[in-house]
């Protein structure tokens, strides 16, 4: 019977019910969108960082990651590669040799990384090739042809076909220098990276750097990227203690930490929003319930028990909250879905995004139905909880107090 | 033999301020038999409402006791009092009697529904009562579609629908013109006679008071007269 009454009340106070539902629905949609957004931006950040350059699994000589130096290189790349290739689930193994050099062009001189790569394999383990902005990507037989980051090129005032020089040291600590020519310019979107990295084809690079069969790190692409951590531990066992094998979770641990921190701030912000929503809903319910206090007094006077009044009001509030959460859930889910397919791009906000290492200010939301359901459940309980205080408060009044309430 | 309703040494005072106390009722004693039709009269502020509230278990006296048909009301929990009100007492208030979102019929059936009476039986009873009171045409209307007099008639119908032993009506005619007032009291008298329900109502309107068969008069919280008319 009270279920029927609860519906009658909801229908009778159409405007009030509509406002309550609207309030709850907007809050729900907001929560769902915000968490989809946070999740999406973090996912995007990881994907970018891992796939653009750093790779899913990195193998280095022991101690190199902690304290890099030419004494801790992989000195027999060929046999390491052979070992790694025996591990099932490995797709591509590719060497890199990262060196720190000084680039100079005209009057400009800028420090940066000169990296020798296997152009064909590199195509598959990173997005270097697809980040081509102008000119052409490298081929294995290239010599002094350089593939340079867009920001580094800008700093050196270089364009396609321009010449530059570098000085550095070979792996045998000998003096190394050469004249290079810009073959291609790339822009990955990782700002720091685009501002410091340049690539040569490894065979020629090895001849200058005395680094034949030597690599500073070996990148492994798993057949199934989601199983990178498991594959890393198998490789670790296979290659033995002379090498360090790190999955992206380890190489990106700083990033993961900063994202966790970002999540914490995100949740604090959400928490504050919730507190505001909570009190708005509570005050609104308080007003709504107290405008009905005379009626409730009559109900009590003619024999409705406090528990029955509680039941009636809770049914009403649950019904409205449920409606809110469903409507808000649909709106939130639709927006999360839409923006996961058509990511939001922030033109004009590139500066802020550079702080996060992203030059491309495009962020897709994540669309995970389970998370959305979780958010809906949280919101439902929050909304019902917010109405609890007013309901209990009005129920504490004695019937005559309620009838004579002004 | 003990009376149907016994009011013993009831006293009630209200604390308006820290040191301002109003004695609303002082040592009230009253016996009422089953089937009586009683009016409580007296000037405004004499304690009529307070007495009716205490008899109906809506308010608690400072001292004394109320015994309804052998059941001592004073000292019962709020929950038990709710049950007693639901099952044994019908109420008509001065105004705002009806639940605004329910139709007249639903208002009349409300207490029966609370008691868990089946829909079919509720229908039969509400039809019977409204026939008796001539309000059949009002049944499907909402309270805000009814005049004050019509609302009070529906309220009277509701008060007796669940066949209580006692109906308490606190100035039910105060907001009505004299013609509707008399009509309403006639209706209550009819129910008193035909359904045998005991009725206690309050009023300070001499025309209305004259309709009762016993008059209890209060003045400054004291019972000053208690006569059959
Ligand atoms: N809730 C209350 N708080 C304070 N004083 C009250 C309250 N209810 C009644 N009174 C006082 O008690 C006295 C009796 O009131 P009441 O029973 O309402 O009289 P009546 O119904 O005869 O007009 C009055 O003086 C009134 O001011
Ligand atoms: Mg009064």
Contact B82, A306 (CB under 8 A): yes
Helix (H) or strand (E) holding B59: none
- Using the Cβ of B53 and the Cβ atoms of chain A, whether some distance falls under 8 Å is answered with yes
- Please tell me what DSSP assigns to residue A74: B
Q: What is the arithmetic mean of pLDDT over B215-227?
A: 93
pLDDT average, residue stretch B106-135:
93
Ligand 2 mean position to A88 CA, how many Å? Answer: 91
Q: What is the pLDDT of residue A406?
A: 61
Express each pLDDT in A184-229 by its tens digit: 999 987 788 899 999 999 999 999 999 999 999 999 999 988 888 9
A1 touching B, CB under 8 A? yes
CB B73 within 8 A of CB B82: no
| Domains in chain A: boundaries | 2-50+255-403, 63-240
B35 lines ligand 1 (CB under 6 A): no
pLDDT-based confidence at residue A357 (cuts at 50, 70, 90): low
Q: Are A125 and A222 in contact (CB under 8 A)?
A: no
Tens of pLDDT, residues A40-69: 877 777 777 788 888 999 999 999 988 888
pLDDT tens for residues A232-263? 999 999 998 899 999 988 888 877 888 788 88
Q: Which of the four pLDDT bands, split at 50, 70 and 90, describes residue A298?
A: very high
pLDDT category at A11 given cuts 50, 70, 90 is confident
User: What are the distances in angstroms from CA A390 to CA A28, B160, B206?
Assistant: 21, 33, 44
- For the question of whether the overall pTM of this predicted structure is more than 0.90, the answer is no
Size of interface A-B (CB pairs under 8 A): 63
CB count in 10 Å sphere of residue A353: 18
Domains of chain B: 5-97+163-228 (3.40.50.300)
Query: What DSSP assignment string belongs to A133-173?
Result: EEE----TT-SSEEEEEHHHHHHTT--TT-EEEEEEE-TTS
Q: What does the pLDDT read at residue A351? A: 59
Q: How many CA atoms lie within 13 A of A139 on its CB side?
A: 4
What CA–CA distance (Å, rounded) separates B78 from A301? 11
| Residue owning the nearest CA to atom 4 of ligand 1 | B14
Does A1 sit within 8 Å of B113, measured CB to CB? yes
- Mean pLDDT score across all residues of chain A: 88
Residues of B numbered 109-168 whose beta carbons fall under 8 angstroms of chain A's beta carbons: which are they?
110-111, 113-114, 158
User: B45 CB less than 6 Å from ligand 1?
Assistant: yes
Residue A322 pLDDT: 94
What is the arithmetic mean of pLDDT over A389-401?
86
Q: By 3-state DSSP, what share of chain B in percent is helix, strand and coil, each rounded to 5?
A: 40, 30, 35
ipTM: 0.92
| Contact at CB, B85 and A301, closer than 8 angstroms | yes
pLDDT > 90 in chain B, percent: 82
Cα B54 to ligand 1 centroid, rounded to whole Å = 12
Ranges A204-218, A361-375, B124-138: which has the least confidence? A361-375
pLDDT band at A349 (very low <50, low <70, confident <90, very high): low
Given a cut of 90, whether residue A146 has pLDDT beyond it is yes
pLDDT of residue A266: 82
Is B46 an interface residue toward A (CB < 8 Å)? no
Band the pLDDT of A354: cuts 50, 70, 90. Answer: low
- Measured by CA distance, the residue closest to atom 2 of ligand 1 is B14
3-state secondary structure B140-181: CCCHHHCCHHHHHHHHHHHHHHCCCCEEEECCCCCCCCHHHH
Angle B217-B91-B159 (CA atoms, 0-180°, nearest 5)?
125
* Cβ of residue B49 lying under 6 Å from some atom of ligand 1: yes
Average pLDDT on B88-96 reads 90
Residue B9 is given by DSSP the state E
At B1 the pLDDT is 54
- Interval between CA A191 and ligand 2 midpoint (Å): 81
């Amino acid at each position: 019977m009270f279920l029927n009454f609860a519906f009658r009340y909801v229908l009778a106070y159409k405007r009030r019910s509509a406002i309550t539902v609207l309030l709850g629905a907007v809050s729900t949609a907001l929560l769902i969108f915000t968490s989809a957004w946070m999740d999406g931006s973090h996912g995007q950040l990881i994907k970018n960082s891992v796939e653009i350059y750093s790779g899913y699994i990195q193998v280095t000589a022991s101690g190199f990651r902690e304290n890099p130096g030419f004494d801790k290189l992989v000195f027999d790349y060929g046999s390491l590669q052979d070992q790694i290739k025996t591990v099932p689930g490995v797709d591509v193994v590719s060497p890199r040799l990262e060196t720190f050099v000084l680039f100079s062009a005209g009057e400009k001189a800028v420090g940066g990384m000169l990296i020798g790569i296997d152009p064909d394999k590199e195509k598959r383990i990173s997005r270097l090739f697809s980040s081509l902005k102008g000119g052409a990507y490298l081929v294995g037989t290239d010599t002094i042809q350089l593939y340079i980051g867009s920001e580094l090129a800008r700093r050196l005032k270089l364009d396609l076909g321009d010449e530059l020089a570098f000085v550095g040291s070979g792996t045998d600590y000998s003096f190394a220098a050469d004249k290079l020519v810009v073959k291609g310019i790339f822009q990955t979107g990782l700002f720091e990276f685009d501002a410091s990295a340049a690539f040569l084809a490894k065979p020629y690079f090895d001849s200058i750097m005395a680094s034949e069969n030597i690599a500073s790190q070996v990148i492994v692409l798993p057949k199934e990227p989601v199983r990178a951590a498991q594959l890393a531990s198998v490789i670790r066992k296979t290659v033995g203690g002379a090498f360090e094998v790190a999955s992206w979770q380890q190489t990106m641990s700083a990033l993961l930490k900063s994202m966790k921190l970002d999540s914490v701030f995100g949740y604090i912000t959400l928490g504050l929003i919730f507190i505001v929503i909570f009190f708005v809903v509570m005050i609104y319910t308080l007003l709504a319930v107290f405008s009905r206090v005379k009626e409730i007094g009559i109900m009590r006077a003619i024999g409705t028990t406090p528990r029955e009044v509680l039941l009636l009001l809770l049914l009403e509030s649950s019904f409205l909250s449920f409606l809110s959460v469903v409507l808000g859930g649909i709106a939130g889910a639709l927006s999360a879905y839409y923006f996961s397919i058509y990511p939001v791009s922030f033109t004009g906000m590139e500066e802020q995004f550079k702080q996060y290492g992203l030059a491309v200010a495009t962020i897709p939301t994540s669309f995970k139905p389970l998370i959305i359901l979780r958010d809906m459940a949280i919101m439902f309980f929050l909304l019902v909880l917010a109405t609890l205080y007013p309901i209990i408060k009005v129920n504490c009044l004695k019937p005559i107090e309620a009838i004579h309430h002004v | 033999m003990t009376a149907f309703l016994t009011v013993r040494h009831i006293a009630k005072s209200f604390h308006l301020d820290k040191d301002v106390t109003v004695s609303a009722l002082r040592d009230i004693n009253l016996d009422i038999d089953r089937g009586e039709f009683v009016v409580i009269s007296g000037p405004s502020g004499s304690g009529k409402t307070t007495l009716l509230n205490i008899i109906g278990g809506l308010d608690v006296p400072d001292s004394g006791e109320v015994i309804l048909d052998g059941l001592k009301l004073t000292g019962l929990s709020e929950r038990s009092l709710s049950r007693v009100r639901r099952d044994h007492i019908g109420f008509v208030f001065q105004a705002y009697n009806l639940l605004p979102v329910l139709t007249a019929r639903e208002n009349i059936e409300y207490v029966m529904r609370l008691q868990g009476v089946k829909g079919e039986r509720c229908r039969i009873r509400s039809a019977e009562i409204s026939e008796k009171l001539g309000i059949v045409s009002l049944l499907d209307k909402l309270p805000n579609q009814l005049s004050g007099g019509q609302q009070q008639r529906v309220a009277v119908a509701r008060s007796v629908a669940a066949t209580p032993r006692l109906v308490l009506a606190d100035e039910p005619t105060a907001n009505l013109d004299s013609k509707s007032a008399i009509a309403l009291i006639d209706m209550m008298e009819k129910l008193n006679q035909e359904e045998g329900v005991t009725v206690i109502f309050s009023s300070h309107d001499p025309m209305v008071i004259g309709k009762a068969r016993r008059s209890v008069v209060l003045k400054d919280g004291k019972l000053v007269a208690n006569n059959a008319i």
